[in-house]
Chain A
Amino acid sequence: MTETISTVDTRVARAVDLVNREAELLDRTEYHVWEKLFTEDGIYVIPIERDTDDFAGTLNMVYDDARMRQMRIARMTEGYAIAAVDSARTVRTVARFVPESVSDNEVVLRSAQTLIAYKRGNHDLWAADLVHRIRLSPEGPEGDRIALKVIRLINSDEAVQAAGFLL
Chain B
Amino acid sequence: MTEHIAPAEYAESDRVAARLYTDPDIFDREMTQIFERSWVWVAHVSELAEAGNFKSTYVGRQPVIVTRDRKGTLHTMLNRCRHRGASLCEKPKGKVNGFTCPYHAWSYGLDGKLRGIPYPDGYEGVLEKGELSLKKLRTESYGGMVFATFAEDGESLEDFLGDAKLWIDRFMKQGGGYPIKVLGKHQFTFRGNWKIQLENTTDGYHFPIVHRSWMASVDSETADMMSFMTDESAITHSLGNGHSVMQMVPEHSDLDLDDGTEPLQARFDHVVEELSKTLDEAQVRKVVRAMHGTGFNLNLFPNVSMSAAFFRVLRPISVDETLIEHVAIGPDGPPELDVVNRERLRIHEHFQGPFGFGTPDDAEGWDRVQRGAAGGPDLPILVNRGLAREKASAEGWPTSHVTDETGMRAAYAQWKEMMADD
Closest residue of A by beta carbon distance from B371: A120
Q: How many residues on the B side are at the interface (Cβ–Cβ under 8 A)?
A: 39
Contact B349 A163 (CB under 8 A): no
User: Does A33 have its Cβ within 8 Å of any Cβ on chain B?
Assistant: no
Contact B184 A58 (CB under 8 A): yes
How far, in Å, is B374 (CB) from chain A's closest CB?
A: 12
Contact B184 A61 (CB under 8 A): no
User: Does B135 have its Cβ within 8 Å of any Cβ on chain A?
Assistant: no
How far, in Å, is B290 (CB) from chain A's closest CB?
A: 18
User: Does A86 have its Cβ within 8 Å of any Cβ on chain B?
Assistant: yes
| CA–CA, A60 and B354, complex, Å | 10
How far, in Å, is A100 (CB) from chain B's closest CB?
A: 25
From B183, B213, B328, contact of A81 by CB (8 A)? B213
A:113-162 near B, CB below 8 Å: 120, 122, 157-162
| CA–CA, A117 and B140, complex, Å | 42
Contact B217 A71 (CB under 8 A): yes
User: Does A74 have its Cβ within 8 Å of any Cβ on chain B?
Assistant: yes
Contact B186 A83 (CB under 8 A): no
| CA–CA, A14 and B316, complex, Å | 47
Contact A160 B342 (CB under 8 A): no
Contact B365 A61 (CB under 8 A): no
Chain B residues within 8 Å of A84, by CB: 213, 360
User: Does B41 have its Cβ within 8 Å of any Cβ on chain A?
Assistant: no
User: Does A59 have its Cβ within 8 Å of any Cβ on chain B?
Assistant: yes
Contact A74 B354 (CB under 8 A): no
Given contacts A59-B345, A59-B348, A163 and B355 within 8 Å (CB-CB): yes
In the complex, per-residue mask of B340-353: 1 if CB is within 8 Å of any chain A CB, else 0: 00100110111001
Chain B residues within 8 Å of A75, by CB: 213-214, 216-217, 357
From B185, B217, B324, B361, contact of A74 by CB (8 A)? B217
| CA–CA, A114 and B361, complex, Å | 24
Given contacts A63-B349, A83-B363, A162 and B188 within 8 Å (CB-CB): yes
User: Does B210 have its Cβ within 8 Å of any Cβ on chain A?
Assistant: yes
From B216, B342, B359, B364, contact of A57 by CB (8 A)? B342
Closest residue of B by beta carbon distance from A122: B191
User: Does B338 have its Cβ within 8 Å of any Cβ on chain A?
Assistant: yes
| CA–CA, A159 and B188, complex, Å | 4
13 contacts between A and B (CB under 8 A): A59-B328, A59-B348, A68-B350, A72-B357, A75-B214, A78-B213, A81-B213, A159-B187, A159-B324, A161-B188, A162-B354, A163-B355, A164-B364
7 closest A-B pairs (Cβ-Cβ)?
A59-B184, A162-B363, A83-B360, A159-B187, A81-B213, A75-B213, A71-B217
Given A75-B357, A83-B361, 5 more pairs with CB closer than 8 A? A48-B184, A59-B328, A62-B349, A68-B350, A75-B216
